[in-house]
Structure 1
Amino acid sequence: MSIIQPLLLPLWGPGSRSTQGLMRVSSSSSFRHLPSLSAAPARSAGGLRGAISTYKLNTALEPSRRLPAIFRAVIASSSAFSTGRLYTTIPHTVARRRPQTTLLKQHYSGLGLVHARKATMAGGLIQKPLAEPQTKFTNKTVLVTGANSGLGFEAATKFTALDAKRVILAVRDVSKGEQAKATIESRTGKKDVLEVWQLDMNSYPSIRDFANRISSDPDGLDIAVLNAGVFMVGYEKSTYGWEETLQVNVLSTALLALYLLPKLRDTARKSRSQSGSFSLLEFVSSRRHEKVALSEEALEKPDHGLLDQFNQATNYNSSKQYQTSKFLLMCVMRKLASLVKDSGSDVVVTAVCPGFCQSNLSRGHQGILADLLRAVLNALVLRTSEEGSRALVSGAAVGPEAHGRFWYDDDLHDLIHPLLSAEKGEPAVDKVWDEIVAALEKDVPETKQLIAELTRSS
Structure 2
Amino acid sequence: MGVLALWWGILSRIFAGKTKTDVLPPSLSFNGQSILITGGTSGLGLETAIHYVNLGAASVIITARTLSRGNDAKLAIEKRTGKKDVVNVMVLDMDTFAGVKGFMKQLRADVTKLDIVLLNAGVHNFEFQQSPEGWEQDIQVNVLSTILLGTLMIPWLRQIKKTGQIQHLGFVGSSSHYISPDISKWPTQDVLQTFNKKENFVSGLHNYAISKLLFHYGALELSKLAIDDDGNPSPIINIVCPGMIRTNIARGFANKGPLYKLIEAAFMFIRCNPADVGARSLVLMGDTTKEEHGTFRNPMLSREEYASKSAPMLTSPEGKRMQAQVWKEITGVLVKAVPEVGDIVRP
Same-fold call, TM cutoff 0.5: yes
Q: Secondary structure at the match of 1:434?
A: helix
Q: AA paired with 1:130? A: D
Is 1:373 the counterpart of 2:294 in the alignment? no
Is 1:149 the counterpart of 2:42 in the alignment? yes
* RMSD (CA atoms): 2.5
Q: 1:339 aligns with which of 225, 241, 251?
A: 225
Instruction: Tell me the residue number matched to 1:349.
Output: 237
Q: CA contact under 8 A between 2:178 and 2:313: conserved in structure 1?
A: no
Change (3 A) 1:424 1:321: closer
Alpha-carbon shift at residue 314 of structure 1 (Å): 0.6
Post-superposition Cα deviations, 1:142-196, rounded to whole Å, max 9, x if no partner, equal 1100000111000011111111111001111111110110111111111111100
Alpha-carbon shift at residue 203 of structure 1 (Å): 2.0
Is 1:191 the counterpart of 2:102 in the alignment? no
Instruction: Tell me the residue number matched to 2:192.
Output: 307
Instruction: Tell me the residue number matched to 1:404.
Output: 294
Alpha-carbon shift at residue 266 of structure 1 (Å): 2.9
Q: 1:224 aligns with which of 117, 123, 134?
A: 117
Q: 2:207 aligns with which of 321, 346, 351?
A: 321
Q: 2:248 aligns with which of 350, 360, 365?
A: 360
Post-superposition Cα deviations, 1:379-405, rounded to whole Å, max 9, x if no partner, equal 211111111111111122122122110
Separation of aligned partners in 2, 1:312 and 1:321: 11
Alignment of structure 1 residues 235-274 onto 2, 5 Å = 235-268=128-161, 270-272=162-164
Change (3 A) 1:341 1:410: farther
Alignment of structure 1 residues 20-419 onto 2, 5 Å = 20-22=7-9, 94-95=11-12, 121-122=14-15, 124=16, 126-132=18-24, 134=26, 135-268=28-161, 270-272=162-164, 277-291=165-179, 292-295=181-184, 298=186, 301=188, 304-316=189-201, 317-341=203-227, 343=229, 344=231, 345-365=233-253, 366=255, 367-409=257-299, 413=303, 415=307, 416-419=310-313
Q: Which moved more, 1:358-367 or 1:209-218?
A: 209-218
Instruction: Tell me the residue number matched to 1:59.
Output: none
Alpha-carbon shift at residue 126 of structure 1 (Å): 4.7
Separation of aligned partners in 2, 1:422 and 1:224: 31
Q: CA contact under 8 A between 1:223 and 1:264: conserved in structure 2?
A: no
Separation of aligned partners in 1, 2:129 and 2:146: 18
Separation of aligned partners in 2, 1:314 and 1:218: 43
Instruction: Tell me the residue number matched to 2:344.
Output: 450
Q: CA contact under 8 A between 2:246 and 2:269: conserved in structure 1?
A: no
Separation of aligned partners in 1, 2:318 and 2:260: 41
Change (3 A) 1:290 1:411: closer
Alpha-carbon shift at residue 306 of structure 1 (Å): 0.8
TM-score (norm 1): 0.68
Is there any run of 5+ residues in structure 2 with no aligned partner, and where? none
Is 1:438 the counterpart of 2:332 in the alignment? yes
Post-superposition Cα deviations, 1:171-225, rounded to whole Å, max 9, x if no partner, equal 1111111011011111111111110000000122221121122223352121110
Q: AA paired with 1:313? A: K
Alpha-carbon shift at residue 233 of structure 1 (Å): 2.3
Number of corresponding residues: 335
Separation of aligned partners in 1, 2:326 and 2:65: 27
Q: Which moved more, 1:341-350 or 1:150-159?
A: 341-350
Q: Secondary structure at the match of 1:281?
A: strand
Q: Secondary structure at the match of 2:227?
A: helix
Alpha-carbon shift at residue 293 of structure 1 (Å): 0.6
Greater RCO (Cα-Cα under 8 Å, separation 6 or more): 2
Percent identity of paired positions between Structure 1 and Structure 2: 33
Change (3 A) 1:384 1:391: same
Q: Secondary structure at the match of 2:24?
A: coil
Change (3 A) 1:184 1:433: same
Is 1:420 the counterpart of 2:314 in the alignment? yes
Q: AA paired with 2:205? A: S
Alpha-carbon shift at residue 263 of structure 1 (Å): 2.4
Alpha-carbon shift at residue 428 of structure 1 (Å): 2.4
Q: CA contact under 8 A between 1:406 and 1:412: conserved in structure 2?
A: no
TM-score (norm 2): 0.89
Q: Which moved more, 1:216-225 or 1:377-386?
A: 216-225
Q: CA contact under 8 A between 1:133 and 1:390: conserved in structure 2?
A: no
Q: CA contact under 8 A between 1:157 and 1:188: conserved in structure 2?
A: yes
Change (3 A) 1:364 1:308: same
Separation of aligned partners in 1, 2:228 and 2:323: 16
Q: AA paired with 2:31? A: T
Separation of aligned partners in 1, 2:25 and 2:122: 23
